[in-house]
Chain A
Amino acid sequence: MIRFAWLQFRMQAAVAAGALAIVAVVLALTGPDLVHLYDSTIASCAAHHDCSAATTGFTRTDGPLQVFLDFLVLAVPLVIGMFWGAPLISREFEAGTFRLAWTQGVTRTRWLAVKLGLGAVASAVIAGLLSLMVSWWSSQLDQVNADPFDSLRFGVRDIVPIGYAAFAFALGLAAGLIFRRMLPAMLTALVGFVAAREAVTAWVRPYLFAPLHQSLRITTATPVSIDQTSPGIIKAFESTRGISNPDAWVYSVQIVDQAGHTPTTSFLSRACPLGNYGPLNPRDCTARLAVTFHQLVTYQPGSRYWPMQWYELAIFLSLSIVLGGFCFWWIRRPVI
């Protein structure tokens, strides 16, 4: 059965391998230049006291390619789900060939096991290799940009794309099995995958680990801005300066007193009377705030980047396994 599955799959596998090879060549050609540029500008900028210009210049290098690569890693699982997963069974139904395939000397459970296994592994390998290459190519850029928890970047680096690809494939396959038609299956893969990604990014990833808290003193050196539209909320202190790890994912920065209360509107209007452009006297405002209030930073430290990558990979692989199990249960039901 494996040989037969390969017979049918090898064209797609060849296309994917070819595309991957092209990307590899592009990255191999441009990657060393990037490393060289990093070494010649960023690494030595501290000596010239000119780091912000060097940083800006460096992060803009190969801009379109950066965007394209991120987009590629973002889109590949979706493409796999729509063009590998969804048609796998639905096309057998549309062409009637399931009647040929499932009346050979191999049970349909075995047929599914091999098709699903081969497809899922291939999807994971393709997405994994691509992500690995892009992560390598972008490593210096990422280092300069910091913020590894950026909601887009987290999903297009390292190991999570493997889970996305396996999940998208299994989702497309399951949809094809239920609908028995390719187009609805592809649409389901598209909508379902995007929804699952968004949901995990918004509602699961921030809660995987309980965030840490850190209190920072308010000093007169801390710039203050007060939200003009709702003056009760002090919007943005320069937040992460005091946190030792620059790669932290900061959830929130609040101004609170010992009891954890935010300043009242009446206190603010007394302490920081507003002019047309923020507080009339920012230094006084800060000094008055500093008497009873401090900054409370809620964040994930950078050291949790890899644990979070592994967790999210595990979540999507588990979802893939659940979908695969569903397919086995479904395919045993009466057909046609």
Chain B
Amino acid sequence: MTAVIETNGLGKQYGRQWALRDCTLRVPEGKVVGLVGPNGAGKTTLLNLTAGLLAPTCGSITVLAGHPGDGPAQLEKVGFVAQDTPAYAGLSVAKHLLMGSYLNANWNQELARDRIDQLGLDPRQKAGSLSGGQRAQLALTMAIAKQPALLLLDEPVASLDPLARREFLQGLMEIVAKHEVSVVLSSHLIADLERVCDYLVLLVASHVQLAGEVTELLATHQRLSGARRDPRSLPSSHEVIEESHTDKQSTFLVRTDQPILDPAWTVKPVTLDELVLAYMGQARNPSPGRRPGLGVVS
């Protein structure tokens, strides 16, 4: 599988502070990738590096087989919806589309105008007076009308109300269905991603804690509960991600390719939300003797 983004030991330092450090990841082509992680994990830095707004302090990053921000051709291949979806307050919606058509060789004005119509936006309205949801939609329209091969969205719904959030994600899904575009969408809310993403990258403190197809991740993780027992007594094919114990009972979240045959267990499927939280917890208190990077598949 070809990668749209490939990083190796990527790092970005501000003064003495590392915003992203030693990040190695691979984002496959043709997916809608959810980039999740707690605040400060380096999601925004990673996306800005990918868009070419930032230059790395160390390590390497390849985006669509090119160097980010390297010339107009590379810039046109990447659509970017930045955090807080900035727009020129004094320019109208129509002027924003005009701006896109002036600045992008592959701009599809018809697509942009249709989308604005469909959203019910008044082309004459100034971007400064749009609601947060409308502005996000405008930013998405601009990013998609340049017909990129890779669409990056940095926390696009973080500041939106639930309705605007649903509409935005719906719009994104329609775009994905219609266009051949790889998408990377960052969020710290897993619930947002669950509906749109088919691939998940969990970034904790710059490190990829978990990466993989959502369906595969859900299929290979189970929650087991039963009589209290030592995690070391589990079969070696079961990797314990999270465990909790009461006096009598033990609950484990395990990763395994094998079917659970032991009848002593009650087996329950996990949700994406639980999965992500478990891996975040694992990153915070890695069990002794377990390599933190073990969960990485790529």
Contacts and interface: CB of A to CB of B under 8 A. Distances in A.
Are A and B genuine complex partners? yes
A331 B146 CA distance: 24
B54 A99 contact: no
A244 interface: no
Contact of B86 (A3, A11, A95, A106): A95
B52 to A, nearest CB: 7
Contact of A4 (B71, B87, B103): B103
B53 A8 contact: no
B78 A103 contact: yes
A63 interface: no
B84 A107 contact: no
A102 interface: yes
Contacts of A98: 53
Interface string B238-253: 0000000000000000
B86 A96 contact: yes
A104 B99 CA distance: 9
A47 interface: no
Given A7-B98, A104-B104, A105-B103, A99 B53 contact: yes
B53 A97 contact: no
Contacts of B12: 334
Contacts of B69: 102, 107-108
Interface residues of B, number: 38
Interface in A80-102: 95-100, 102
Contacts of A334: 12, 54-55, 57
Interface string B256-292: 0000000000000000000000000000000000000
A333 B88 contact: no
B99 A7 contact: yes
A104 B147 CA distance: 11
Contacts, number: 85
The interface residues of chain A, by DSSP majority, are classed as: loop
Contacts of A1: 102-103
Q: Which of A1, A98, A334 has the most CB of B within 10 A?
A: A334
A3 B102 contact: yes
A105 B105 contact: yes
A4 B54 contact: no
Top 6 A-B residue pairs of the complex, sorted by shortest distance between their CB atoms: A99-B82, A104-B103, A96-B86, A105-B76, A103-B80, A105-B104
Given A3-B102, A95-B86, A104-B100, 14 more contacts: A4-B99, A7-B95, A7-B102, A97-B88, A99-B80, A102-B52, A102-B53, A103-B51, A104-B75, A104-B104, A105-B146, A106-B103, A110-B72, A334-B55
18 contacts: A4-B103, A7-B99, A11-B90, A95-B89, A96-B82, A99-B82, A99-B86, A100-B142, A102-B69, A103-B79, A104-B103, A105-B72, A105-B76, A105-B103, A105-B105, A105-B106, A334-B55, A336-B54
